Chain A
Amino acid sequence: MVELHKDNYDQEVIESKGVYLVDFWSDSCEECLELMPEVEALEEEFAGRLAMGKVNIKGNRRLAIREEVRGLPSLLLYRDGDKQAVFSKEFDIADVRAKIQELLGE
């Protein structure tokens, strides 16, 4: 998973082709830490078809706000740089998986 921050986000995510999943998290967010292994499992499951990165909001708050993240944890899905879906707070990882499959046309 790529460490994303305000200086590489646009190049990595917005200007990329294909499907991109971004995980916004923070050290003090227990739920985020809990979710991380499940997100990493998605990376393995969709290896080669899905790009993935994470943003520690410490030092990247403005980026988070710009991307309209208002609560953690948040997972954002992009296709060809356009935001397609946002999962925040209480969501099921199965729904995220289904959305990835839909975006990949699988």
Chain B
Amino acid sequence: MDAVFDTVIIGAGTAGLTAAIYSARAKRKTLVLDRKRPGGMASTTERMENYPGFPGGIHGRELMKRFAEQALEMGAEVVREEVARIESEGDIYVICGAKGGTWRARSVILAPGCEPRKLGIAGEEEFTGKGVSYCATCDAELYEETSVLVIGSGDSAVEEAVYLSRFADEVIMAVVHDEGVLDCNRSMAEEAFANKKLKWLWNRVVVSIDGDDFVTGVTVKHLKTGELETVNCDGVFMFVGTVPQTKFLEGFVDLDRGFIVHNEQMETSRTRVYAAGDSAVTVLRQVVTAASDGAKAAFFADRALCEEEEYRRALAQAGEHYLVYFYTPPVQRSLDAIPEAEAVARKQGIPLVKLDTARFRNVFREFSGTEVPSLFEVTGSRVEKKEFLCS
């Protein structure tokens, strides 16, 4: 049988690589799977100006190269394969690759990130690669001395528009809002308004992308007058947000509009499966927050594994027939009742395993425990709840 990894991380972007650094550093056997080269979304960003520690900014690709290097240095393995699905086999998760590879893991960190949203307007798919682009750093150079149109007005749209203006003669901004209103932060808006190459079309929605073999323009609709007009351009860059790449997780973990649901410990609806980064439910989707998520996910995964290991050791000592007592220090009554639990064990002549629910959350969950204190009698695979408190 293949070796079992302590932690398998899906996605080698900011979140996944950070999780790998923490996990491998905690001496956990760690694997990162990505269908592409390590680096993720941040690799395609020209300049990262808000990642702490790099005054003057750093190239997204350079930054992510360092993340990957550090993960490898700590001892994580990185394998290139797309994950098609995850199955659960008892305590183990089996990660199945699209090309047939399988990996076994005791814990899983999901960090598949997001991809650009497609608007689904006429011409969008037809002209992708023929004038329609979702990646300014890929294609900007091809549009030197031309006129391009940008759809969107969020942080990415405005940032990428400013980048495009270094190449194109004219960058037309189609914005759905009233004049002067953008969805990006204020300093970026100021920079954009000061840029002479940016031309603004307010209250406009793009209804179609037009062309013959290649894009020649777009049709925009004025939201107030309903008037349609043709705008000529050589390229259309779409930055209308992103959508989580979590299709392969449907039915495996709970999702909310595609984003992975998790608690404060980054744990998903499955035991020892964690979420991190842009694909998780969160308020801010940035490199620094994805890194922070990754660190937390790896930390809690390691803690859950320690818990499991400690529990297994305790059980190995206890044998086939024993009592499990759940307590937690904040509940004074559960501390006071320890002698009573011990008395029950003595009377029955079997061992007592005492577990703090704060540290043994997963075990508590496996026992379907709801209240503290509680006492269970385990005989082989049979578990029985015991009423034992006098008061």
B-binding residues in A (CB < 8 A): 26, 28-34, 57-58, 61, 64-65, 68-74, 88-90
Q: Is the CB of A64 within 8 A of B39?
A: no
If over half of B's interface residues share one DSSP class (helix, strand or loop), that class is named, otherwise mixed; here it is: mixed
B41 to chain A minimum Cβ distance, whole angstroms, is: 10
In the bound complex, residues from chain B placing their C-beta under 8 Å from that of A30 are 37, 39, 43-44, 61, 137-138
In the complex formed, the residue of B with least CB distance to A65 is B142
Q: Which 4 A-B pairs have the closest CB atoms?
A: A88-B129, A89-B129, A71-B129, A29-B138
Given contacts A30-B61, A34-B36, contact A71 B133 (CB under 8 A): yes
Q: Is the CB of B142 within 8 A of A57?
A: yes
A33 to B235, CA, bound (A): 23
Tell me which residues from 137 to 165 in chain B have a Cβ below 8 Å from any Cβ of chain A: 137-142, 144
Given contacts A68-B214, A70-B215, contact A28 B138 (CB under 8 A): yes
In the bound complex, residues from chain B placing their C-beta under 8 Å from that of A88 are 128-130
Contact flags B16-44 to A (C-beta < 8 A → 1, else 0): 00000000000000000000110100011
In the bound complex, residues from chain B placing their C-beta under 8 Å from that of A89 are 128-129, 133
Q: Is the CB of A58 within 8 A of B138?
A: no
- Indicate whether B135 reaches chain A with its CB closer than 8 angstroms: yes
Q: A30-B137, A70-B131, A70-B142 are in contact. List 12 more A-B contacts (CB 8 A).
A: A28-B140, A31-B138, A64-B142, A65-B142, A69-B142, A70-B139, A71-B130, A72-B139, A72-B142, A73-B138, A88-B128, A90-B129
- Indicate whether B213 reaches chain A with its CB closer than 8 angstroms: yes
A-binding residues in B (CB < 8 A): 36-37, 39, 43-44, 46, 61, 128-133, 135, 137-142, 144, 213-215, 235
Q: Is the CB of B130 within 8 A of A72?
A: no
In the bound complex, residues from chain B placing their C-beta under 8 Å from that of A72 are 138-139, 142
A102 to B142, CA, bound (A): 30
Q: Is the CB of A70 within 8 A of B130?
A: yes
B69 to chain A minimum Cβ distance, whole angstroms, is: 16
* Highest count of chain A CB atoms <10 Å: which of B132, B133, B142, B213: B142
In the complex formed, the residue of B with least CB distance to A58 is B141
B2 to chain A minimum Cβ distance, whole angstroms, is: 26
A10 to B215, CA, bound (A): 26
In the bound complex, residues from chain A placing their C-beta under 8 Å from that of B235 are 70
In the bound complex, residues from chain B placing their C-beta under 8 Å from that of A61 are 141-142, 144
In the complex formed, the residue of A with least CB distance to B131 is A70
Q: Is the CB of B141 within 8 A of A57?
A: yes
Complex partner residue of A71 from B36, B138, B144, CB under 8 angstroms: B138
22 example contacts (A-B, Cβ-Cβ < 8 A) are as follows A26-B141, A28-B137, A29-B139, A30-B137, A31-B138, A33-B37, A57-B142, A58-B141, A61-B144, A64-B142, A70-B131, A70-B142, A70-B215, A71-B142, A72-B139, A72-B142, A74-B129, A88-B128, A88-B130, A89-B129, A89-B133, A90-B129
